[in-house]
Chain A
Amino acid sequence: MAELIKTVDLKKYFKLSKTEYLHAVDGVNLSIEKGRTLGVVGESGCGKSTLGRTMIGLNNATSGEIWFEGEDLLKLSASRRKAYRSKMQIIFQDPYSSLDPRMSVFQLIAEPLISNKVHKSKGELVDHVSYLMEKVGLDQRFINAYPHEMDGGRRQRVGIARALALNPEFIVCDEPVSALDVSIQAQIINLLMDMQEEMGLTYMFITHDLSVVRHMSDEIMVMYLGQCVEKAPAAELFRNPLHPYTKALLAAIPQPVIGEKMNKEIIRGEVSDPINPAPGCRFASRCKHCCPQCTQADVPLKKVENAHEVACVLYK
């Protein structure tokens, strides 16, 4: 199938001072086929949210290319780029802070429809809002409710309805379930998957929860300090993780099965600063396989098997 969105060497640096740059996203190449889901995993501070926000234009990229439907979005004029905005949406992590507390559910869902002048009459607008509410499983009695009157799961449904309002093709899901309880989390995951099937949506699913990402994604990209360290089809990545960081990440998940005590090979240390990073593999300081080669030059992503790519000197 045809790819819907692609990035080439995408970079986003935040300037901290005259000499210091925070390398949030540092040369990411990815492509997502239409109707598929790319899962992006990594620990806090690895740049996964910045990547998502940069792709849909909430952050201005420092350099690189973002191809969407055959056009490089970063080269378009502001007005032409705006036309693409409605096709790319985002669902935010925290439904407690991403909704305006002073707007009712109706106002929240109608906002994108009003600002894009989709409907001519109020009647059409009301119909569209109730249609969206029904679609995301929100009872009509909530139409005049305010966010504080609803629980986290329903709030997240409002967030999803807002993202779906303009019939987008690509949705960045930025940790949409991590603020929710497990039973509610499962409801939202099912809803997102139903929507994808029904509307042929393409997702980029950002999360730190590996079991959720395995469930949702076709392909998974593992990020560490702004760079992609491994990319593979979901089942393959879990069956055969190659990069030492991916291995450590998988080993660290506590399994709800007794007897399988946690792997004692826990990686030491913590994620280092993404400010003016030294060349070479960024995981080197925590890696037990670290050799001089790792810190000499940047380690590029290499194809090991079909569609399985890894950035590590251990694999040639």
Chain B
Amino acid sequence: MPDRKRVEIKINGESYSAEVEPRLLLVDFLRGIARLTGTHVGCDSSNCGACTVMMDGVTVKSCTLFAVQANGREILTIEGVAKDGDLHPIQQSFRDHHALQCGYCTPGMVLSALFLLSKKPNPTEREVRLGVSGNLCRCTGYQNIVDAILAAAKRGGQVGRRPT
């Protein structure tokens, strides 16, 4: 059995440190060690994006990354998006547009939307569809998700801002 490695990861502004097997996937660090279970697993093949989080400001799939690779980096999970109980404007827009049904894909979808709007504050419908093309949803046929993101963008301002 290879040596465990000490990793320290800042998640939503808080440091988590543990000795882990090198093969431990980041998503299992988040869910199992940090006990932040909003990040989900839906496929194992890097297709569904339910495990999407941000690492140093860009979206990544936490099931396709080892925790050791995230050592010393900053992670934002869905738990860090709403502040003080207030939904982030993108989350609010998801609610307003009924952009979630079962809610399993939602955390990853919200982070992808956040990243998209941070890069493209005024996306076209096509850009929105491509922007969340790394996140599968099986409930909504995507229509309300696309509408929610477009509406959030129209509200302008700091919608794409990352929570600090």
Q: Do A and B associate with each other?
A: no
Residues on B close to A: CB < 8 A?
Answer: none
Residues on A close to B: CB < 8 A?
Answer: none
